[in-house]
């Protein structure tokens, strides 16, 4: 893999800093806490740590409302703490990826304070200001992703400003060259401090329709869906001009060597892959969330994987995401028994996988009492809150699971004493051990990390079977998506030619003697051709 760029062969691990490790006892995780746990990440076997926002912020959206792009909020530490984190990560051969939030700032950012001061402010055009509609209401029908209108009226100047998310998060005007230049300087600031790349928040939102036309009604909208789905966002997001913006970001990163540019993009496959750009001049990895949104059964997942592989542009490198800070936990979606299948799927498909902290120990849905709710989306639209997937990491069976000596900002899971890193790291049958073994196999076999992919036909509707291969090795993966044993008989002979390399069921024998293979309930199996 010496000639393979690191972000193709490696794995990414997302840390939500508020919830990973608290070092000062205030119940909120911080940068020093992350540094303390870098040995764990190295032991686990990941290659890069992606850190969600830690910038100075009023915390209306927990750091995604940025008041200073070139600093660290005191809640999380100092710039010196960040520099130490990068140095310690690099010492352990771990890359550091930052969350870059260019679509919007906080209303407390000096740029916006200046912008809203008057209609003639030099920073007025740094944000999106519009006159009211003829009836005095919002300029168009665009809706906030967190519910309600995406426009807020400023009484002092009589105009509305646009915010795709909270009213405390006004959108920047990326049609303004001064905005682009300022944000490019932000990228350089962090690149000069040694970061290895950026995950760009809501990148498909950066450019808006120049005429601010109304979005069309969504004919598929049903009650119970988030309000943002009432309209199809054809004018408020995913505009063709976005590719010029991405090209300029890439130009900023280019002098720094093998830095990665990842785009957060919640779009269908055919639009998602467009973000690789013409001649792969777009983002390196348009985040692929399709597994999160696809029904959890073998046929649906297999069809998705093949469709995604077929849609990739020549040379486009795939990637897969099964969990993050905005989506319900893997174990909450697929169930505890299928969490091991999810792990094997994520870490054996072709492409770069991204893991979310806590999924490796099977953290599931954590109920949040009404008086402990933190997420502003939950307050705006009950039932859509993201707090359950942001609860603290559970390290051991000590008070507060080793996360903090103070009361954690969100509650722990009820089974924290039994579900934690310390307990699982010594258990050969644990989910954590499975993750670690899978990550080790990705390093041992280039067939898994950078090899080819071939879907295998199967008449068993409960089993997804595929191969990973390179010039030296062929691996076969079979995943039973059901809670009952399943026989696989039509993907080739197994007796003698194949040996078990890994099973999610640790009591599986290593040798095979029959042409028909029986997968146990909820079993994932990795076979190697001719190995013994």
Angle at 190 between CA 377 and CA 87, to 5 degrees: 105
Q: Are 49 and 433 in contact (CB under 8 A)?
A: no
Cα-Cα-Cα-Cα dihedral of 311, 317, 320, 324, to 10°?
-120
Q: How far apart are the first and last CA of the chain?
A: 24
Instruction: Give the ranges where 255-297 is alpha helix by DSSP (H).
Output: 269-272, 290-293
Both tokens of residue 378?
Answer: 């939950």
Catalytic residue IDs: 201, 264
Q: Which two tokens stand for residue 383?
A: 């039932």
The SS3 call for residue 472 is: coil
Helix, strand, coil percentages in the chain from 3-state DSSP, rounded to 5: 30, 15, 55
Please compute Rg for the chain using Cα positions: 24
Per-residue b/e over 146-168, b at no fewer than 16 CB within 10 Å?
Answer: bbebbbbbeeebebbbbbbbbbb
Which residues make Cβ contacts (< 8 Å) with residue 318, sequence separation at least 6?
288, 308, 309, 312, 349, 350, 351, 352
Distance CA 161, CA 498 (A): 63
């Amino acid at each position: 893999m010496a000639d393979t760029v690191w972000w193709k062969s490696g794995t990414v691990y997302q840390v939500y800093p508020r919830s990973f490790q608290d070092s000062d006892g205030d119940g909120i995780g911080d940068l020093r806490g992350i540094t303390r746990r870098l040995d764990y990440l190295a032991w686990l076997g990941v290659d890069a740590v992606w850190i969600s926002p830690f910038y100075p912020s009023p915390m209306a959206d927990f750091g995604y409302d940025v008041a200073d792009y070139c600093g660290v909020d005191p809640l999380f530490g100092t710039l010196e703490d960040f520099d130490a984190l990068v140095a310690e990560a690099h010492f352990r051969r771990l890359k550091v990826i930052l969350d870059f939030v260019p679509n919007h700032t906080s209303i407390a950012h000096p740029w916006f304070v200046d912008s809203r001061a008057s209609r003639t402010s030099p920073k007025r055009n740094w944000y999106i200001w519009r006159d009211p509609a003829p009836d005095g209401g919002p300029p168009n029908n665009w809706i906030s992703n967190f519910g309600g209108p995406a426009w807020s009226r400023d009484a002092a100047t009589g105009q509305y400003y646009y915010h795709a998310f909270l009213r405390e998060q006004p959108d920047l005007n990326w049609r303004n060259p001064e905005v682009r230049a300022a944000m490019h300087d932000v990228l350089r600031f962090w690149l000069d401090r040694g970061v290895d790349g950026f995950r760009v928040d809501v990148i498909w939102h950066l450019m808006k329709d120049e005429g601010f036309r109304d979005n069309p009604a969504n004919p598929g909208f049903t009650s119970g869906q988030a309000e943002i789905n009432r309209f199809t966002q054809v004018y408020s997001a995913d505009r063709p001009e976005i590719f010029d913006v991405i090209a300029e970001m890439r130009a900023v990163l280019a002098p720094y060597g093998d830095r990665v540019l990842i785009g957060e993009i919640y779009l269908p496959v055919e639009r998602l892959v467009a973000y690789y750009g013409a001649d792969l001049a777009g983002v390196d990895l348009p985040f692929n969330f399709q597994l999160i949104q696809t029904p959890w059964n073998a046929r649906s997942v297999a069809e998705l994987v093949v469709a995604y592989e077929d849609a990739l542009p020549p040379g486009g490198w795939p990637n897969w995401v099964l969990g993050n800070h905005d989506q319900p936990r893997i174990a909450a979606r697929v169930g505890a028994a299928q969490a091991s299948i999810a792990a094997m799927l994520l870490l054996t498909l072709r492409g770069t996988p991204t893991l979310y902290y806590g999924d490796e120990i099977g953290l599931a849905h954590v109920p949040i009492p009404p008086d402990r709710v933190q997420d502003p989306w939950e307050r705006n639209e009950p039932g859509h809150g993201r707090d359950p997937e942001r609860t603290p990491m559970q390290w051991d069976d000590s008070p507060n699971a080793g996360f903090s000596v103070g009361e954690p900002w969100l509650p722990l899971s009820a089974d924290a004493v039994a579900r934690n890193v310390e307990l699982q790291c010594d258990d050969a049958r644990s989910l954590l051990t499975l993750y670690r073994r899978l990550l080790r196999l990705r390093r041992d076999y280039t067939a898994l990390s950078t090899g080819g992919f071939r879907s295998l036909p199967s008449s068993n509707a409960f089993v997804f079977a595929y191969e990973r291969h390179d010039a030296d090795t062929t691996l076969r993966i079979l995943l039973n998506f059901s809670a009952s044993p399943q026989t696989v008989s039509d993907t080739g002979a197994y007796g003698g030619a194949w040996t078990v390399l890994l099973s999610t069921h640790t009591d599986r024998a290593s040798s095979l003697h029959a042409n028909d293979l029986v997968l146990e309930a909820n079993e994932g199996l990795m076979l190697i051709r001719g190995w013994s």
